[in-house]
Copies of this chain bind each other. A is one copy, B any other.
Amino acid sequence: MIHAKFESLLARKLSSFVEMSKDELGVLADLQSKPVSIKRGQVFIKERQTAHKAFFLQSGWGCSFKILPNGGRQVIRFPLPGDCVGLRSILLRASDHSCTAVTDMVVATIEAPGMLEIINKYPRLGAAFLWAISQDAAMVVEHLVSIGRRSAKERIAHFFLELAERLKLVGLATETQFDHPLNQSIIGDALGLSEVHVNRVLRELREQNLLTLREGKVNILDSSGLQKLAGYRSLQIGRDKIDMPNTD
């Protein structure tokens, strides 16, 4: 049922949390057997919508955000390949944010009932998803800390270090550089800054030979300098496997 060559990013990710049985891996494979494409710019999750579906990214960049009554936009996070989007909304019965495709994307989807059935039938998978949600939440918390208590420069440095680390995990970044589809306006909306100020701070970082961002490419010139500036700590918490009884 499961074929090693087809091992998905999702399966790899969840496996790093708890060892899966063949059955469970099969379920994960089935889950992603009918991927669909989403065009750049399309909003595929709308805040407050009640059609509960979860998405598993296979390729492309997403952007989860909320719009405020005053028209402002706050980006929550940028889902990357291997990430899940909308898991929360399955249990909450309504999405608490919108999500759009920053680039063309390929995703697998699952409806809420199917997801609930899986949790019910395969508790270990349930725990694995719980773990995935927890990881997301931890990242949102770090993001919160960034916006609340870091200066613009620290925030931007932190943001790119985190992106680099996440992209490295799925083989989309080298030690020193990666491609990205973000413009300065969306970066501003992610970090609670204005587009103009993002530009100015990027110039500073460039002038200090810490980081450059040009033509959709980020170059990390001085990783340890950036880390010191940003007060950065690796994401690598909770990636050791746990023991959980097999229910087969």
Contacts and interface: CB of A to CB of B under 8 A. Distances in A.
Interface of A: 17, 48, 66, 68-70, 72-74, 76, 87-88, 91-94, 96-97, 116-117, 119-121, 123-124, 126-127, 129-131, 133-138, 140-145, 147-150, 191-192, 231, 237-238, 240, 242, 244-245, 247
Contacts of A121: 123
A199 to B, nearest CB: 18
A46 to B, nearest CB: 14
A210 to B, nearest CB: 17
A130 B91 contact: yes
B148 A74 contact: yes
A138 B244 contact: no
5 contacts: A92-B134, A116-B244, A126-B126, A137-B137, A140-B141
A127 B133 CA distance: 12
Given A119-B123, A127-B116, A127-B120, A141 B91 contact: no
Nearest to A154: B70
Contacts of A72: 149-150
A240 B191 CA distance: 33
A121 B141 CA distance: 30
A94 B238 contact: yes
A68 B211 CA distance: 22
B133 A134 contact: yes
A130 B129 contact: yes
